[in-house]
Structure 1
Amino acid sequence: MPISPIVLQRRQAELGRIRLGQKNPEKGFPMKLDRFRFTSVSEQYVRDLADLYGGTAQAWDNNGIPSWEVITEATSIPVIVVKNGMSQWMEFWAGGGCMHRCDGVTNMLTGDPCDTEEKVQVGKKKVNPHTEAKPTTRLSVMLPELEAIGVFRLETHGWNAAAEIPAVAELAQFVGDLVPAVLHLVERRAIKDGQTSRFVVPVLDLQIGAAKLREIVEAKSGIGNELEAGASSGAAAIEAKRPDYLALATEAGDVDAVREQWTKAADAGHLTDDLKQALTDLAKTLHPTDDQEPVEGEPVLDPPDVLWQKCVTVAGTLGWTTDQLELALKSDHDATPWDATSEQLDALLTTLEAEAA
């Protein structure tokens, strides 16, 4: 009898890697690519990939492991997203090993809370592994055009991919165990001090139609028919479904209800300036529950980790790099992503949204 999946999580065999960079052949430092690079210990797989997507298959020394590589001409490739094929952590690697892996709160290597004071020797300097950690997103996909059963793994350390890929991969879990998609390399730009920098971001595009999407939504929330009706009747039908947040808060008659309706409206994208003012005015006339102070018009802010992800998403639309976003937070609010308050991150988000408008 096989081991229970609860005890042993099953996974596809890894056949190789999808890489977005390589070492400079002359100077040895890492350099980014604007097209896909495949590596594998299998010469046949790499030669087949070269036939499919261009490039020349050649031998490659993977730190003493005889391997093969091909830098293709492809910037888009068909893939199949597999169940449980994505992982995401904040990681810091040094000396050939992973020194820190966390979810932003808990160190997964020790099970202890992240230590922001710990110092370890790395080379000639001492660093805090938690603050040095970078987002590490790993996505395993099958290549339907390759005659092989197994997955190739993409690993990226960018904030844009960290913010975008998980949402698409999560949607894929609702679609099925094997979901067709296209993996793109999309160029984005950032302008700093008058200088324009260009970089590529991996983007996952699920190949599912509107009918399948409605089916998924209906199965999970029971509102598939509403989506279909909304598509035919236009914005007026969608607007008719908007809750009366002010009436709901007024009926409840306490400040907690105002906070709740404020948050719900904000999450749904319905928090207009008029609604903000109306809820603020209502809050001033009410007494807080549990002897709390009145809100006096102050919005309910998301937790810092949620606000940081929102900042990352908006910054990505502006073409900002992670370093640029962290620098803006440090220079404007004297904070880092790990110690910033909700108020500081909300102020940064407001600035980013204004620039993106």
Structure 2
Amino acid sequence: MTPKAFVALWTHRYHKYSHIAKAHLLARRAQLYFGSKKRKLKKKLVAVVRTEHFGDIVAAEPLSRQIRELHPDAHIVWFVKPMFRELVDTNPNVDESFPEFCVTQRRVLLETGVFDKVYELQFRNNNRCPTCDVFVENPVAVAKGINVHTYFNFGNLLEVFAKISNLTVPQDDQPRLYLQERHRRKVDGLDLPKRFIVVHCLSNLALKDWPAERWNALIPQLADKYGVSIIEIGLSSNLSVNHPTYHNLCGQLSILETAEVIRRAEFFIGLDSGPAHLANAVGTFGFIILGSLNEFSAYNPYSGTYDSGENCVLIRREGVPCVQLPLETVLNAIEKKIPVSAKG
């Protein structure tokens, strides 16, 4: 082994094992914290585990209401990645969010038995820490054969989450967001156009994306045909749109501030990604460009009015990936629902 390789190996090991040690330390601290809280409150502790992604957390929101009904007097704690805490902290059905360091921390903490009931809304692929290099299994999901290769065979995301946690799908399956006055004030300060369409053009998975050149062609046509401004939201943009009514808000807003922008839009046009779940939750009519995904030739991740089609058009061709959907297919689907005569 060369000196360089030796140093790289031991640097990796140092980071890995110091990370694991920190995870165990944080788990023990959390055990003491929740043990103390349990004694002080004299309530049962209920854990809900759905740490990512933010669209999945929105999709799972109806289960928070069901869990509250099942445990009206318990202290409900939702395990979540720190970047998504605002979705949980604003939910009145949850008493506390727990910002998870990694799955090892969670595993050690839950194994202490400090929680009286645990609802695991994740399965193996979401229960991995790349630094620790470990997976945590969900026995219920394993027993039912639900994994990253099969999950959409069991229904939409809410239905899957219910199945892997031994819950039933709530009768009211419409996801909700709990927007606050601070989100409205923030968006008020943006001085948005009176009429606009929101677009989301870049997801966190290349398989779900639609080519940038087609977005570049679609956006000016929408602006001209319908006489509205176009506002792009998301973490980042890969577009090069040159049109006076196009506005780029990417990277400038929090998740719930983005939701407030979507709520004010006439329509949402986007990919199968987190913002589409926000649009569903705030009740904005959506056009979702949806291709096949790995083993799933056709799937629908949404519950509520996006599932029923009442408030959404899924633009897709069975077995065709998103990247292959022509511009005309998207334009025709939009114009079929919103005739150009609706302009103005």
Q: TM-score, normalised by structure 1?
A: 0.27
The structure whose residues are more often strand, as a share, is 1
Q: TM-score, normalised by structure 2?
A: 0.27
Q: Which has the larger radius of gyration?
A: 1
Q: Relative contact order, CA 8 A, sep 6+: which one is greater?
A: 2
